[in-house]
Amino acid sequence: MLFLWLYMFYSCAGSCAGLTTRVSSAPPRSAPPLPPLLPGEPGEESSLEEQRAAPDAGSPISSFFNGSGTKRLPQAIIIGVKKGGTRALLEFLRVHPDVRAVGAEPHFFDRNYERGLAWYRDLMPRTLEGQITMEKTPSYFVTKEAPARISSMSKGTKLIVVVRDPVTRAISDYTQTLSKKPDIPTFESLTFKNRTTGLIDTSWSAIQIGIYAKHLENWLLYFPIGQILFVSGERLISDPAGELGRVQDFLGLKRIITDKHFYFNKTKGFPCLKKAEGSSKPHCLGKTKGRTHPDIDQEVVQRLRDFYRPFNMKFYQMTGQDFGWD
């Protein structure tokens, strides 16, 4: 019996040692290569760093436990216009539980494009399945290269443009600049190339931005008109819930943001949120919004209205909406 036990012990020792040797000598399996982020991809994958750190970060179970979700390229972008009401729209939209948006303006498609899509996506908030990633940079609307660049990222990107009476918008633009540079020339002197002849200086950005029809033509080379939503800056003030309803429909979201979310601040002259995102307190936009405009010579205002009228009419025809600026 003892002999049999010793025989089994030594036989096993030899075979197990051989097995250990064979296993330890096998070369380690290399990890599969990470997929590159190509310009045409919609950005459903997480960044390369995230994949290395947490390869299952995009799974529903992982997202549930770590509350992180996945960083994605935006499916919708507020592309303009400056001083039209883009900040208000973004802050209102962020109340919706299915909207996640970058707070700061990334300026990727106009100033930082050389940094690449991976850099851009890393700026985005993490989202769960069914949530929409958004950003807003108003200067995109007047950037010649922006439509082609956004189309290259994803032809299905939904675009939102907040427009406002171009004369009022120009004065608001000037007011913002004046608050930073009090010594700039008057609005009237900047408006004209020649005050005597009444020739408008269209090279001044405050004037040039308001020629909406001209800028829209560039976007329609890359996106169908139905993929662009035009929000009225005036109605965003007078009827925020109504405009937000249109935006939610456009984005395919349930109409959660309604009248109950707003109250009108008489001091500022525009609506505020009863409860901001992640807060139980009322929220109004900062002191830089709703500045008092300087008094502008009414003759200059009328000249500008005459200048913009044909462009406004063309814009109404292109969008199928009458914004009532005349």
Known binding residues for 3'-phosphoadenylyl sulfate are 83-87, 164, 172, 289-293
Binding-site residues, in ranges, read: 83-87, 164, 172, 289-293
Distance CA 264, CA 274 (A): 10
**Residue whose structure tokens are 């009401």:** 85
Distance CA 63, CA 51 (A): 14
Distance CA 127, CA 74 (A): 10
Q: Known catalytic residue: 83?
A: yes
- The gap from C-alpha 109 to its chain's centroid, in whole angstroms, comes to 11
Q: Vertex 224, ends 167 and 258: CA angle to 5°?
A: 65
Residue pair 150/77 in contact (Cβ under 8 Å)? The answer is: yes
Residue 242 has, within 13 A of its CA and on its CB side, a CA count of 8
- Which of 71, 82, 83, 158 is catalytic? The answer is 83
Going by C-beta distance under 8 Å and a sequence separation of 6 or more, which residues neighbour residue 175? Answer: 291, 292, 293, 294
Segments of 60-131 assigned E as strands? 70-71, 76-80, 99-101, 126-127
- Listing DSSP states for 170-192 in one string gives HHHHHHHHHHH-TTSPPHHHHHE
The candidate with the shortest Cα–Cα distance to 326, out of 317, 311, 237, is 311
For strands 192-194 and 199-200, give the pairing: antiparallel
Going by C-beta distance under 8 Å and a sequence separation of 6 or more, which residues neighbour residue 210? Answer: 81, 166, 167, 169, 170, 308, 311
Distance CA 238, CA 21 (A): 79
So which residues are the catalytic ones? 83
